[in-house]
Structure 1
């Protein structure tokens, strides 16, 4: 992916150079954050990601991996004081466009049952609940909802 921008925002491929900042952001976003080593391991094992900058500030990131049945969104994080400005939507939209262009058939993810903002975001793209993972999350313990999106229903990648 090449850099793309909208105003003072730009998307870039997540590389090891971003990991220190992404690790700090991960810790601010999640009660049970992944370590930088965990994120690096995901990238080393074929995972990929995107970071979103606004000016000089890295405001969000998306971490994914390919599955035999599609793509799994592993992490979507946005700087807490930058939320509700469309950054998560921009990251997801960019991913959906790329995956559709690459012929990916489906996208999967888990989301905390109580994360209503994320659930609304994903529902807006047509993700549907297809399962539940009891006690999946820690700190606090909570179920994960498994969501899926069939990209074949949206051949142009636009939502």
Structure 2
């Protein structure tokens, strides 16, 4: 799949996981819980997922491809960093930076969410795990050429 299609599809994984997690793990005895969760997912999580994927993810992909370092490890680590930056921007926007110190769980979940979106992008776009030439070890007889005539 092309990288552009993968970039359009991969941010959907976050709202899907959010919705599934809320429906499975949280108490939903209230009759309007499903409606509220659908609204929260479609009006809150989905736009933020796409917004930060394109504001943060697209430049990272461009920079990594120009540096010839486009690999899944770099993309997933930068996605985790993007998740942390996202929650920091949201706390900065709400002027509630004091709560940022107390919410280590939210920071961890944001980093994991960014890594999951990045991982789904790598899987859809078929980004290799490593970029550049592979290390050839001398004990691997299939890849070593003999120069002594044997």
**Do they superpose with TM above 0.5?**
no
Please state which structure has a larger fraction of its residues in helix: 2
The structure whose RCO (Cα within 8 Å, separation 6+) is larger is 2
For normalisation by structure 2, the TM-score amounts to 0.32
Larger radius of gyration between Structure 1 and Structure 2: 2
